Structure 1
């Protein structure tokens, strides 16, 4: 039986005690724990990186615009699904090939080559037109935005092309143009509707204005008819060769001398009445017709005076107007549209005073002021003014402070748009002395033709 070996405890290396060994083992545990923690963190970073890549890939796949990323030499590095579908080639097939190989004509190649060779492109890039080979071999025009791609240090490493087929842009432009035309037509219809509403409020006054000259003309025509009968009787006697004494008696009885003296004034008065009637009718036709927006020199004084006349004729109650012209007060614009604006402001001022509590007789202050660059026309009433919280909404479409059924809410909105189209402004405020004040400001023009 072999002799039994007895193991003796391993002696620590010379010069190293137990405390030192414990420190070494503790450090090794800390290093191991740190390695495990770093590995967990690395796995987390890899997962986040994969999620970011998936997110970027989903965006590239969802883009309807064509995306192409190439090196500074024009070699393709990245594409998206829209480009692959357009040219009929896979992403793997396109990578590493030249951008110029996708272009269908020499002009497109020259433009793309110029972008790639541009040594100092702007950060916003530039837009060029290119023709790409489609999957069926045809040429597809696109508008491409070319943006330089650079490293964090600023060195250019390539170019990013984002393009959209021109056919889509043309279709979108056509839709936008159609919508714009429809909007313009609707605006003209609203303008005409509001104009006719304003015209309807003036019918009674205009009818009274027309009644005066027409009654005058009718009276003169009846007088002329009687004079015609007397002249016919006298001329018949003359043709019957009656003796002079009988003719003299007949002439005296029919008052032929008075008739002949009165004829010129009757004819003149009839013509004047007819001309006044024609002027009123022409004014109404000009106001109510669809305005072709013909621009010409317009005197704001004439516009205001005509508006004051028409509104006063259409108002059943007495209207006091302090009118202060400023001749000349010439602007460039559409007479019919400017007439509509001023009439609307004056009519609103009359309504504001009439609906005050307690009701009061309308009193308006209308002033024209001529300036070196701008001409102004202000309309102020003696109404209650406008509540401060409503001043910012007064020009909004369909907003009105009038009772239900008394206003469309379009008059001031349309007036604001008309003045804006004429290059001017329409402002409103509560006057320090009471009432609301609207001011039209338009660019002035000199009196030279």
Structure 2
């Protein structure tokens, strides 16, 4: 019963999947065909509209350059105005335009093609119209609006009229474009201006409605220019439903929710006036085709399932008949075979038991031998780890000694004895430091915890940066020191670095009283290892950056070393602090730096952890106990090595 239920559920799921696939394929194919048809219609319509506007724009240019027009605007004589009226009437009749008229520089219409009609434009004031402002500004004016005299919507094209090199007025051509969209309500077509307001539409109710929200400033400008004769500009209820692969087409719903139809919207830009032509194609036919295809595929799938069920039932009956006959013939032979198998199993079990006893005895002997070998290996490993630790910790001071020696020789040759004396003092300090390192590593090998030794954090960081100054020259370094008071001033968290990559605050004076429970030399060792590890990760970066954040809490001091390197692989994080584990190339590291830093943190009652940053790079967080009587000055910020620590 359970198996049949599973089969029925699987077939039902397959039916749903097949029907869904049939629906999607048919729907996508139909939408693609509809989109191509809509694109052809939109391209054809936009081209026709653009050609019409370009043709009449050329006519407005010819009118503006006619001598009669220039003379009428320049002299203003009655004879010149009469000649201009007759010329405009004749040109307008041949061009099949709505009205052609000229406007003086003060905005007054002085001549028009409809000069003899009751609704003549002569004497009307057009100074507020944008197309007049554009023409007076030596630009071609393009504007669609409702006429202030005729109250008939039209497209206005204006050209500046020059007389002796000066603009004396404007020539305007008005076109009636109400014929353009047509009256096909099944596939609506409309044109919107640059503000998103529909001014041409095959659906009359959509005129002067906006396809997107109109800002208050734009609405005020439309009202001021009387572009649409004060008609209220409401939002057309057109809601995007689904985007298509083509950027100029999408599925929209027009009307209130519920029974509102779905359309495929195609857009085309009309060059010149900045209009957008939009066509809507109903998707009902596509939905019907998808529904029919889905029904056909569903019935076909059900028929195949029924046929398969009949074939399987008939085959099962034949198979049961054959099995019944064979079962009777094999019953006696099966009984004998089982007796023989049971006897063989008992014999094999006995032999296996004897083998397991022998294997167990041998395993015990090997275990005792391995235990003895492990003890010897552990002794050798401890000795090797101690030697490797000494080598690793002495590498940095030795490199610094070489650098100071080379610099001292150059300074002596230059005669800069004061700087050379400083370098010799630094060399002496480094030799003392190397001696202290060999003594301090005994604590690492023996896991001996130091007492409540305290050391200033700023001094330890200054010495660590001083030791690594040569490697820090190619890195943009930023150091930040901050206490709880910095939370009140976000500007105190970060200061810009100087040209050498150091923060503009001296570590020798800032936060000098901030101390942690840790021996000074061991704290320097931990910081050197963390900073050197970050510098190794930044070797392949084009713009290496390093951040050192020191946050002082009430009981803890947290030192975070961050970089913008490649980060730490996820599979490496669990083993990052194991001795002798390294991801560097052979000869570039022993894998002891992070292990030593982690051991120092534990011995001082703190911790060391690592993580990958979300913006890239890795961060190592060293948390130590803060000395009870230490305080943090309010508003302290980033610090940098003193002048003596800068590269020379």
TM-score (norm 2): 0.30
TM-score by length of 1: 0.43
